[in-house]
């Protein structure tokens, strides 16, 4: 194929286009010894910062700081904000009080999941929606007839996840007075350099942890405030690989990793309903009409759900990520979407999508096919798997209020 000069220039410009850098990037760049970066929503983000094994143990043993600024963030406000969000999301937003956070998801009219995320109620008519994918056109179309204002604040709002057993001690030492009263899924406002920042007791690790949201202009000074306070509490900066291990242990799912979102699915059989990815508990059929309601309830009534998302415990210690799951070693039943050897649970664990009836009425005699590289040769291993509840770990410190001091 021969490229015209015009196409060649377009291609070169695309290659030369730099990834965006988050407000915290200068600090991460200075700390990085692995130089291991990936692209998250157009931003340069670290797979690891210094050592992904030690970064994981920072989450579980001390405290870890993870830059979540690339997470897509929408500010939704106005007199109809509650009614609008109740129309597009699965849970009853009327039950979400100001100062609280709600994990939720939203679907298209066919009941297929568009994304999941967290909904923050900052005030009576003021919300923040955080998620993996961008949905501004869909949100704007859905808002027709509602008195709401929708603004994307991904670029202007810096965000950090501070996770781990000493995370409370770090915030306390940094001068966040009253942080000990914050309950899980609760938020509060604090001042930093004369600006309001929001701190919520939320996270993606299944551990004690917080998320901080601040104007981009004060991001570096906020980082420095936490970093200085965390020196005596083992605070470390981490990348996604360590966070991913922790979220698997916590049984959390990731859009376009454990399920394909409806807008990105190329084939109809790749779309998923909430019940097919373990989010059936989010659906509130008693609230006013919401997107996908009829399709979801109809699928339940007709028992036409096609998939199950399950937790697996697998014999051995070789991670089974992307392994095929079989029934009786012969019939293909599904695929592992995420799998690790868990240092905390001391088990080989995985999240898998199974085609029903597997994972629903058929739950026994499951096997995974793992290809393990040994001495430059792949060895096929068939390992027994059993369905187990998620989360794979439960930590008392995650919900203890006030938090323990470590």
Residue-range domain boundaries for the chain: 5-71+155-249, 72-152, 268-388
User: What gap in Å lies between CA 156 and CA 374, rounded to an integer?
Assistant: 48
Show the tokens assigned to 259: 């399920």
Q: What is the pLDDT of residue 268?
A: 84
Show the tokens assigned to 99: 């100062």
Show the tokens assigned to 225: 């405030």
Q: What is the pLDDT of residue 364?
A: 97
Task: Tell me the sheet residues that pair with 371.
Answer: 380
- Give the Cβ contact number of residue 54 at 10 Å: 14
Q: Where are the beta strands (DSSP E) in 7-156?
A: 36-40, 43-48, 63-67, 72-77, 100-107, 113-123, 126-131, 149-152
Looking at the structure, give the CATH architecture of the domain made up of residues 5-71+155-249. Answer: 2-Layer Sandwich (3.30)
Q: What is the pLDDT of residue 269?
A: 87
**Residue-by-residue DSSP string for 257-316:** TTB--TTT-SSGGG---GGGGT-GGG--TTSSP-TTHHHHHHHHHHT---EEEEEEEESS
Q: Kind of pairing, strands 72-77 and 209-215?
A: unpaired
Q: Which fold has domain 268-388?
A: Elongation Factor Tu (Ef-tu); domain 3 (2.40.30)
Q: Which of 88, 144, 156 is nearest to 117 (CA)?
A: 88
Q: What is the pLDDT of residue 17?
A: 65
User: What gap in Å lies between CA 230 and CA 227, rounded to an integer?
Assistant: 5
CB 253 within 8 A of CB 278: yes
Q: Which residue has the tokens 């007075």?
A: 177
Show the tokens assigned to 310: 């399950």
Q: Kind of pairing, strands 235-237 and 63-67?
A: parallel
Q: Which residue has the tokens 């603004």?
A: 151
Q: Which residue has the tokens 């199974």?
A: 354
Q: What is the pLDDT of residue 366?
A: 98
Q: Which fold has domain 72-152?
A: Alpha-Beta Plaits (3.30.70)
Q: What is the pLDDT of residue 2?
A: 42
Q: What is the pLDDT of residue 325?
A: 98
CB 161 within 8 A of CB 203: yes
Q: What is the pLDDT of residue 1?
A: 38
Per-residue model confidence as pLDDT tens for the chain (406 residues): 344 455 455 445 545 567 899 999 999 999 999 999 999 999 999 999 999 999 999 999 999 999 999 999 999 999 999 999 999 999 999 999 999 999 999 999 999 999 999 999 999 999 999 999 999 999 999 999 999 999 999 999 999 999 999 999 999 999 999 999 999 999 999 999 999 999 999 999 999 999 999 999 999 999 999 999 999 999 999 999 999 999 999 999 999 999 999 999 999 889 999 999 999 999 999 999 999 999 999 999 999 999 999 999 999 999 999 999 999 999 999 999 999 999 999 999 999 999 999 999 999 999 999 999 888 999 999 999 999 999 999 999 999 999 998 8
Q: What is the pLDDT of residue 187?
A: 98
């Amino acid at each position: 194929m021969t490229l015209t000069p015009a196409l060649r220039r377009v291609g070169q410009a695309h290659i030369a286009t730099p990834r965006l850098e988050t407000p915290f990037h200068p600090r991460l760049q200075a700390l990085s010894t692995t130089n291991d970066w990936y692209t998250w929503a157009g931003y340069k983000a670290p797979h690891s910062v210094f050592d992904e094994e030690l970064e994981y143990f920072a989450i579980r043993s001390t405290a870890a700081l993870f830059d979540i600024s690339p997470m897509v963030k929408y500010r939704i406000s106005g007199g109809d904000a509650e009614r609008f969000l109740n129309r597009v999301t699965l849970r009853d937003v009327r039950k979400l009080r100001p100062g609280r956070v709600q994990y939720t998801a939203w679907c298209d009219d066919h009941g297929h999941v568009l994304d999941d995320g967290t909904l923050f109620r900052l005030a009576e008519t003021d919300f923040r929606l955080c998620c993996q994918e961008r949905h501004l056109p869909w949100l704007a179309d859905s808002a027709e007839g509602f008195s709401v204002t929708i603004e994307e604040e991904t670029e202007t709002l810096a965000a950090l996840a501070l996770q781990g057993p000493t995370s409370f001690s770090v915030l306390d030492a940094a001068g966040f007075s009253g942080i000990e009263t914050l309950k899980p899924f609760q938020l509060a406002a604090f001042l930093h350099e004369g600006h309001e920042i929001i701190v919520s007791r939320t996270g993606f690790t299944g551990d004690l942890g917080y998320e901080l949201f601040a104007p981009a202009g004060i991001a570096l000074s906020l980082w420095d405030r936490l970093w200085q306070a965390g020196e005596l509490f083992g605070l470390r900066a981490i990348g996604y690989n360590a966070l991913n291990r922790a979220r698997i242990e916590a049984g959390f799912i990731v859009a376009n990793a454990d399920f394909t979102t409806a807008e990105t699915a190329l084939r109809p059989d790749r779309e998923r309903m909430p019940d097919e990815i373990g989010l059936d508990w989010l659906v509130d059929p008693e609230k006013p009409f919401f997107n996908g309601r009829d399709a979801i309830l109809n699928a339940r009534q007709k028992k036409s759900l096609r998939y199950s998302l399950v937790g697996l415990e697998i014999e051995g210690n070789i991670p089974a990520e992307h392994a095929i799951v079989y029934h009786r070693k012969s019939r293909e039943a599904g695929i592992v979407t995420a799998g690790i050897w868990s240092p905390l649970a001391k088990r080989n664990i995985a999240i898998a999508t199974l085609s029903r009836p597997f994972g629903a009425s058929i739950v026994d005699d499951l096997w995974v096919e793992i290809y393990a590289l040994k001495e430059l040769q792949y060895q096929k291993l068939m390992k027994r798997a059993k369905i187990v509840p998620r989360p794979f770990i439960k930590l008392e410190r995650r919900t203890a209020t006030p938090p323990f001091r470590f």
